[in-house]
Amino acid sequence: MPENAPRVMPSSIDAEKSVLGAMLLSEDCVLVAVEKLKEEDFYSRDNRRIFAAMLELTGRNLPVDYVTVSEKMSNGEPLSADEITYLSELSEAVPSLSNIDYYINIIKEKSRLRKLITTAAEIAEMGYKQDYPSADILDQASSSIYRISEEGEDRSLTQIRQALLEGYNSISNAAKSKDGLMGVATGFPMMDRMLSGFQPSQLIILAGRPGMGKTSFALNVGEHIAVVERKPVCLFSLEMSREQLGLRLLYSSSGVNSQNARNGKLSTDDFFALADAMVPLQDAPIYIDDSSVIGPTEIIAKVRRLKNQVGEIGLVIIDYLQLMSTNIRSENRQQEISSITRSLKVASKELGVPIMLLSQLSRASEKRQDKKPILSDLRESGSIEQDADVVIFLHREDYYKDGEDRKPSNKSSIIIAKQRSGPTGTIDVVWRGDKTKYMEVDFREGGEE
């Protein structure tokens, strides 16, 4: 090709015509093509239009042939002579019906190449405009390219043998593990017994009223996974700085009174305890992002990049849902929340990592005699409850008492309010606010006194 010749987008019109012709001749070919191809995979505008008509006919369980397709395309007005000729010649363009999978793969390959070219051009344009930091452009690039690679994966119906083998392997791995868990241990043994640990592909909602210690609980779990289990933990904090998070980890790990530390009233033993706590923490695979404005797309891109660097990730913590936003226009906040939780659920499945998403509870529980939180107390609860695999509530009765009735108490509860594949119930814990730490004291299965 001459150096100055205009470059043409990758395409194979012959493969496109062969697939459309095969669909006109065979119902089996229709089903294969509809499963594996999308309208935008076709480069030719005419071929896209024909495939769209075939797609609509299939969706309505109507036959796909020359008559039905031409009628669907005409939309009440007769097709032009050229259109009629082109449609009638498609059936003659098929070398062999048995090769339809090969033709489809050619179309998909050319489509992916076009998407890569378009994405690269968009990324280059962002770079030339200089409207965004390079880090944001990198996140956008990795996210866009990953989506294209995911579209290329051929995930179809599989015989149950594969599902059984995967399930058996999970059980076998749990039996071999020191804790007998399918997922990663959290440092809360009774909770692990109920949940079998935090498992890959789970979206875990941790919810409570402000001041219940959600961040502290998440850090307690994250610290155990990183320090004891030696699995990387990724923490996104939209509310606290990395310095604040580091201090909380130090207080929790060392047992030093946080109030004394803030007031500068530490003893020599306290400093020794802090120094001792620093040793395992500073080498722990904990990665913190304290960007105050961040959405699911950026989070997913950063987690994906970290996973490429370190391999398996033990847990992703996001603190917290109500501070997140998206760049997608939504009619209302509930719709935006739905988009966020759905994106994170899909990401947990695609990346194979558990995601713990912290969330605020509404004031609804304060109006009830029984103050224990229920699923409907989740703000914008419909989508959160639907997308979550596990919902955990933190609850303290003394939180709801006023005046003289509000006597400080360390008694607290971890309530497993939802679990797709296991029991629900309540775990009694001790909350040490001065040390920003939760500790288990008892276990009570749901329904038992």
Which string of DSSP letters, residue by residue, matches 336-354? HHHHHHHHHHHHHHHHT--
pLDDT at position 446, please?
Answer: 42
SS3 label, residue 359: strand
53 sits in which H/E element = helix 45-59
C-alpha span between 200 and 234 (Å, rounded): 14
Q: The domain 182-445 belongs to what CATH superfamily?
A: P-loop containing nucleotide triphosphate hydrolases (3.40.50.300)
C-alpha span between 238 and 214 (Å, rounded): 14
Task: Give the start-to-end residue ranges of the domains of the chain.
Answer: 8-157, 182-445
Are 183 and 354 in contact, with CB atoms under 8 Å apart? yes
CA angle 307, 436, 246 (to 5 degrees): 45
Query: What is the dotted CATH code of the domain comprising 8-157?
Result: 1.10.860.10
Q: Which residue has the tokens 């797309």?
A: 297
pLDDT at position 167, please?
Answer: 64
> Which residues are bridge partners to 437 per DSSP?
432
pLDDT at position 51, please?
Answer: 92
What one-character DSSP code corresponds to residue 80? P
Given this chain, do its domains 8-157 and 182-445 carry the same CATH topology? no
Whether omega for the bond prior to residue 320 falls within 30 degrees of 0, making it cis, is yes
C-alpha span between 74 and 83 (Å, rounded): 10
What are the start-end ranges of the E strands in 97-212? 203-208
- 3-state DSSP helix/strand/coil % of the chain, to nearest 5: 55, 15, 30
C-alpha span between 123 and 110 (Å, rounded): 20
pLDDT at position 449, please?
Answer: 36
C-alpha span between 296 and 313 (Å, rounded): 17
Contacts for 28-33: CB closer than 8 Å, 24+ residues apart: 29/97, 29/100, 30/54, 30/58, 30/64, 31/58, 32/100, 32/101, 32/104, 33/100, 33/104
Are 315 and 231 in contact, with CB atoms under 8 Å apart? yes
Q: What percent of the chain has pLDDT over 70?
A: 85
CA angle 131, 346, 327 (to 5 degrees): 25
- What are the tokens at 368? 């009830």
C-alpha span between 201 and 44 (Å, rounded): 39
Low-confidence residues in the chain, pLDDT < 70 = 1-5, 76, 135, 139, 143, 150-164, 166-180, 326-331, 379-382, 402-409, 442-449
- What are the tokens at 428? 């009694």
pLDDT for 218-262, tens place per residue? 999 999 999 999 999 999 988 888 888 888 888 888 877 777 777
pLDDT at position 264, please?
Answer: 76
Question: What CA–CA distances, in Å, run from 57 to 20, 27, 47, 53, 168?
Answer: 14, 12, 15, 6, 41
C-alpha span between 258 and 247 (Å, rounded): 9
| pTM metric for this prediction | 0.67
Give the pairing of strands 425-432 and 444-445: antiparallel
Catalytic residue flag (residue 239): yes
Q: Which residue has the tokens 């599989």?
A: 158
Q: Which entry of 122, 239, 385, 445 is annotated as an active-site residue?
A: 239
SS3 label, residue 426: strand
